[in-house]
Amino acid sequence: MDAADPAGAVDWAGLRAAARDAVDQAYAPYSDFKVGAAAFADDGRLLTGANIENAAYGVTLCAECSLVSALVMSGGGRFAAFTCVNALGETIMPCGRCRQILWEHGGPELLVDTPIGVVPMTEVLPQAFGPGDLDHVREAQR
């Protein structure tokens, strides 16, 4: 049982296994750093993603990007639990850009598997910028 998931409702072992399987789908011919990601959506769907590199490095897609695409293309919703792993199957942290992407599609309630345990998204991206910040300014300007 994890402090961030006290009821033990998330099948973290299954989620990590799905992320490890997703590594096999990664396309990383330049860095050879393959990443697999997996998440449960708020309706229970299991989604996976893998990094997809490009010779023009700036347009490389992180595993979290393909995971968001899978979420949107399969009906939308929100991420409820997330993990990502390297080619060795070790849990790794999302980069800064991906932390913002995860915030957008999971929000503060998203549970994130990290190398030190499961934590809420608020610990992964404290004081995050999101849709509420945009709404606040729009409403104040009316």
* Residues with catalytic roles: 64
CA 90 – CA 50 distance, rounded (Å):
14
Q: Are 57 and 9 in contact, with CB atoms under 8 Å apart? A: no
Nearest to 31 by CA among 59, 49, 52: 52
CA 127 – CA 45 distance, rounded (Å):
28
CA 123 – CA 24 distance, rounded (Å):
29
Write out the two tokens for 90: 């070790």
Q: Which residues contact 100 (CB under 8 A, 6 or more apart)?
A: 125, 128, 129
